[in-house]
Structure 1
Amino acid sequence: MRFWLIVVLFSFLASAQASDLTWQQAQQNKGGVITIQYKLNEPFLLSNDGVLEGLEYEMMIGFQRFLSKKYGVKIQYKWHEWQTLAEIFGQIQNEENAGDIGLDIISWTADRERNVKFSNPYFPDFQVLVTHRTNPTVLHEEDFSNPYSDYTAISVLGTTYDQNLKRIKEANQFGFELKYIDKSTQIIQEVAATPRSFGYSDLTRYLLALDQNWPIKRLNAFAMKGHGLGVVFNHNSDWDAPFNEYLASPEFARIKKGSVQRYFGSEFNAFIKNLSNHQDEEVVLLMQEKMFMDEELELNRQEVERQTRVKNLMLVIIAFAVVIAFFLFNRSWIKSKANKQLLEHQEMIEKQNEELIAVNQDKNNFIHILSHDLRAPINNINSISKILSADLKLEEGETKMLHHITTESQRLSDMVTRILDIEKIESRTIDEYQPVDLGKLLAEIAKNFSSAAAAKSISIETDLEEGTYIMGLDEFVFHVFDNLLSNAIKFSPLKKSIYISTNRVGEDIEISIRDEGPGISEADQVKMFHKFQVLTAKATGGEQSNGLGLSIVSKYIGLLEGNLRCESTLGEGTAFIVSFQAAPQDVKKL
């Protein structure tokens, strides 16, 4: 009897926290109350001294404002917290709760959609395998079974993390054991604290942990890209229509951008945009991880320097103390104890530094291997398509398809080349500089682009002074002006002109490449030399941009000890002016 009383009481309390208000009724009444069944999941939804905040909280408050502004409907929320996702699903599936909304960074799956209704995605769903930084690195899926087949997988029962682990275990007959914990927010902490373990984490939480210097790394295997994160409704609910309309609105875009910057970090918006726009998510993710590793290496280098300064200061203090101790009963143990603590601390930092350098080298090697492995098949595709176009008698539609294959494979080959350029620049592997004939090199580059310019009826005008030499490498200088001229043609309208000129200014030589394109805004000028930055201006002939060209230009000019500036007026055009110190007279004849 007591058991049934408890069940009835729980059902009454649960229904008191639910709502059956429909969107149609809310429009008729100009308002109403709906219940949000939620679970805390930092940084999407968190409680700060009892006050809710986070991206999902701000998203729901924005939904209230959206309904009030567009439809004149004023909605109030009842927030009901649960401890598990299963409890939220149990509430949402109840037909009496048709007005409820479920909130807990919920990944869309076909099985789940049979029980609840999903909104459109409001955030990417990307899951990666993580493990402790000292565990073996995995570059390919075939390398995973040894040794990770004998490790323990950390997960939460019934989640998509759990489903993904079971799927790869069954598909590949892996022998790893599953260990379940209560909260998905604790998976990374559990993996970091448990030897010989790994587990799935969403990409957001992994990058935040990496930015906070957690001793973890990503296994380059079995990454899962889902449909996206959404909120859930009862199958009889009609609230999904206004909510999906809100997700597609400029109001939500502004709220999402601000929330991501507040709760995920200032660079996360740019990373998510790059991840969405880039053709190869693995390359973008590797670059982001490499940035975090570089930052951590720099912090450790600074810490070693600080410890060295502290050590030197302590040595001075200890030496002074020894002199005093000679007269105060010889207290030399102070110096021995202080030195021992400092040495142990420094050894620990140096060990961490070595581990970070090894992980960073793994990332560099993988980028190098990935880029080189891509080159051969891309070049084969390009060659075969050209042979077919030349040897076969094809119809017009088939010819266009082959031409498209040739163009796209060439673009992929160019992207791989640019990634290798970045690797070469960042590795600082440069040879001995030689005199470079600027006039001859610029004339050659202009000639190389004559066909591309003619295709858009663009004229390339040159005013090049003969006998202008600088010290450098032909390859570096070629890449600088090849990229600048390529951009000028790409963003110039039809039947315009591009002007290339050289000019002596004191002991320097200035090279100007000026176009008559749309110009570059001040906001774009601030970020245009960063990697993977796609600017506001669009190519006039439908050409593609991977956001690497100007980054490569800036780095090469830095290696050549030159200067680069941009002069641009919107609607009139852009000029990139590069200046180098002229080579001494006695080396031009070498």
Structure 2
Amino acid sequence: MKRVIFCIMGVFLLSGVTVHASDLTWAQAQRDKKGLIAIQYKLNEPFLISNDSILEGLEYEMMIGFQRFLSKKYGIKIKYKWIEWNTMAEIFEQIQIEEKAGDIGLDIISWTADRDKNVKFSNPYFPDFQVLVTHRSNPTVLHEEDFRYPYSDYTAISVLGTTYDQNLKNIKDANGFNFDLKYIDQSTQIVQKVVETERSFGYSDLTRYLLALNQNWPIKRLNAYAVKGHGLGVIFNKNSDWDEPFNEYLASPEFARIKKGSIQRYFGSEFNEFIKNLSNHQDEEVVLLMQEKMFMDEELELNRQEVERQALVRNILLVSMSFAVVIAFFLYNRSKIKSNANKQLLKHQELIEQQNERLNQQNKELIAVNEDKNNFIHILSHDLRAPINNINSISRMLMDDLKLEESEAKMLNHITTESKRLSDMVTRILDVEKIESRTTEEYQVVGLSKILSAIAHNFASGAAIKGITIQTDLIPDIHILGLEEFVYHVFDNLLSNAIKFSPLNKHIYISTTRVGQQVEVSVRDEGPGISPDDQVKMFKKFQVLTAKATGGEKSNGLGLSIVSKYTDLLNGQLRCESEVGKGTAFVVSFHEVEKS
């Protein structure tokens, strides 16, 4: 239905024109309450698509939304004339013509200082992140020093005059690499050409790379020379004044809704959360690795299911063929029919074995790539921990040893707080890595009541700062089977969250209850509650929920994910009981055991 509406609007834009398109200014449009703007564009899937001569895509819906914004806020009826070009260079040439100062250029254009000299850019409407990609069978690169061999002698695929081209030339000149540059016409074809060309690599924008990965293309990212740009924007003539209302539109709630819906339609439902995490997170590399790992895990699962399906088909085929041989033995000449049936059976077996061999090889490649990702996450987190702890220690020494003014002490205290928060985030990432690698020890009898009492005591002083009282009602001498470390992580995270999201001067209740052979632990707060939408996603990694911390605390979106995973490892069950405005209770159930 939405596509039909956009199509009707697209046809309407070309009719009833009375004002010259190229020289229309924002000031003139405000006086006349109408006008026509020429949009110089190039197709670039999935941002701008032509489907049976009908335009679609994020950028198209963005421009239609700009029309509605001008009509609703200023009462100005703007019509468009869409003019298609084959290259970005042609669009830049048109926008720079003085007589066309009212035109807008559209082609997922990255801001650069050189381009900014010749045209005027809008504020960014989408992140600009370029990564090096290559075929999955080529060597993996975890650090920039690994890139020279063998990629210095590979062929780089690019488009002449683009930021992809400039970025390749920059790393080639700066490092003395020997790779050749091979140019193609369209940037949308770079990933496909890299897949088709042996011993090749190239820059791709992050969105197109992740779409290819999600479609199970044999592509992977090289963890070197990634480029994060200022962002993608539309371009105007240097003398244009249309950037003023367009930037106002980009900052509006209306554009935020359009962008969210368009990303879901043209990029996939998971991309909205990924783009949000990428924008909010302090370490883009960690978020990107987690997203890649999710796609790899999905592909491994699909391949595993295919292997099982092929095995089932093979078994059914073997039984069927065997049954056919038995029947043929009684109906026809035994020797001749048996020989033919065996040949047919062997032929099918060979075909299935070839398919299984290909699937097994793909699985080995995926497992190797996935292992590289896990290793890199582990290395990255461990390498971050030492410098963060050094920063924390130095800032504390300075606070203890120096006589500081109030403003200086405040700054050092901020450094200490932020470095501790970053250290906690690294610890949580290592926790996730440890959980997913299943590196657990032998379980033993653990005193649950003792651990809950210790955690409540540890958090009491921190809660008191916000006027929060922690009340406990614990049955003594309750024991479960597990590891103290795992149990501690579950309730440390739950109590930390309860304090973080509780208003001042409230209560938090920790209680235990026996239900048959089970013991239930409840951590209940009097906070804002969790919405039904947030409850659906709250146990996934890097999910920052709607509710905000009441004391300005930061959230990295890993706490509830860790709680869920550790609860599973302890063979427990986790549920959430919450109502918006009335607080939240997390209830964890374990099987109670006797103390040995």
Q: TM-score, normalised by structure 2?
A: 0.94
| Alignment equivalent of 1:267, drawn from 263, 266, 270 | 270
Contact 1:17–1:35 (CA under 8 A) maintained in structure 2: no
Residues 312-391 of structure 1: pairs in structure 2 closer than 5 A:
312-323=315-326, 327=332, 329-330=336-337, 331-332=340-341, 333-391=343-401
1:482 aligns with 492
Q: Within 2, Cα distance between the matches of 1:449 and 1:511?
A: 17
1:162 aligns with 165
1:219 aligns with 222
Q: Within 2, Cα distance between the matches of 1:65 and 1:521?
A: 31
Contact 1:129–1:201 (CA under 8 A) maintained in structure 2: yes
Residue 478 (structure 2) pairs with residue 442 (structure 1)? no
C-alpha displacement at 1:458, in angstroms?
1.5
1:534 aligns with 544
Deviations 1:347-366 (A, max 9, x none): 01110111000000000010
2:81 aligns with 78
Residue type at the aligned position of 1:99 = G
Q: Within 1, Cα distance between the matches of 2:176 and 2:498?
A: 54
Residue type at the aligned position of 1:556 = Y
Structure 1 stretch displaced more, 235-244 or 268-277: 235-244
Q: Within 2, Cα distance between the matches of 1:238 and 1:221?
A: 40
Residue 489 (structure 2) pairs with residue 473 (structure 1)? no
Contact 2:21–2:35 (CA under 8 A) maintained in structure 1: no
C-alpha displacement at 1:21, in angstroms?
1.7
Residue type at the aligned position of 2:119 = V
Residue 509 (structure 2) pairs with residue 499 (structure 1)? yes
C-alpha displacement at 1:320, in angstroms?
3.8
Residue 425 (structure 2) pairs with residue 422 (structure 1)? no
| Alignment equivalent of 2:231, drawn from 228, 233, 236 | 228
Aligned-partner SS, 2:514 = strand
C-alpha displacement at 1:196, in angstroms?
0.9
Aligned-partner SS, 1:449 = helix
Residue type at the aligned position of 1:498 = I
C-alpha displacement at 1:317, in angstroms?
3.0
2:423 aligns with 413
C-alpha displacement at 1:395, in angstroms?
2.4
2:563 aligns with 553
Sequence identity percentage: 77
C-alpha displacement at 1:324, in angstroms?
5.8
Runs of 4+ in 1 over 3 A off after TM superposition: 320-326
| Alignment equivalent of 2:579, drawn from 564, 569, 572 | 569
Contact 1:278–1:284 (CA under 8 A) maintained in structure 2: yes
Unaligned runs of 5+ in 2: 1-18
Deviations 1:232-253 (A, max 9, x none): 1111212111111111111111
| Alignment equivalent of 1:122, drawn from 119, 125, 132 | 125
Q: TM-score, normalised by structure 1?
A: 0.94
Going from structure 1 to structure 2, the CA distance change for 1:17 and 1:366 (only over 3 Å counts) comes to farther
Instruction: Provide the aligned C-alpha RMSD in A.
Output: 1.5
2:10 aligns with none
Deviations 1:318-377 (A, max 9, x none): 334445666264324322222221111110111011100000000001001111111111
Aligned-partner SS, 1:513 = strand
C-alpha displacement at 1:447, in angstroms?
1.3
C-alpha displacement at 1:482, in angstroms?
0.4
Q: Within 2, Cα distance between the matches of 1:241 and 1:190?
A: 39
| Alignment equivalent of 2:468, drawn from 458, 467, 474 | 458
Q: Within 2, Cα distance between the matches of 1:212 and 1:259?
A: 19
Deviations 1:146-188 (A, max 9, x none): 1111111100000000011111111111111111000000000
Count, aligned residues: 571
Q: Within 1, Cα distance between the matches of 2:27 and 2:95?
A: 19
Unaligned runs of 5+ in 1: 1-15
Aligned-partner SS, 2:80 = strand
2:301 aligns with 298
2:179 aligns with 176
Residue type at the aligned position of 2:80 = Y
C-alpha displacement at 1:430, in angstroms?
1.8
Contact 1:459–1:498 (CA under 8 A) maintained in structure 2: yes
Structure 1 stretch displaced more, 363-372 or 60-69: 60-69
Q: Within 2, Cα distance between the matches of 1:278 and 1:94?
A: 41
Deviations 1:18-49 (A, max 9, x none): 62222222222221222111111000001111
Q: Within 2, Cα distance between the matches of 1:215 and 1:513?
A: 46
Deviations 1:100-139 (A, max 9, x none): 1111000001111111111111110000000111111111
C-alpha displacement at 1:57, in angstroms?
0.7
C-alpha displacement at 1:86, in angstroms?
0.6
Residue 282 (structure 2) pairs with residue 279 (structure 1)? yes
Aligned-partner SS, 1:134 = coil
C-alpha displacement at 1:398, in angstroms?
2.1
Q: Within 2, Cα distance between the matches of 1:18 and 1:148?
A: 49
Structure 1 stretch displaced more, 560-569 or 142-151: 560-569
Contact 1:43–1:263 (CA under 8 A) maintained in structure 2: yes
| Alignment equivalent of 1:394, drawn from 396, 404, 411 | 404
Q: Within 1, Cα distance between the matches of 2:25 and 2:86?
A: 26
Aligned-partner SS, 1:267 = helix
1:511 aligns with 521
Contact 1:17–1:80 (CA under 8 A) maintained in structure 2: no
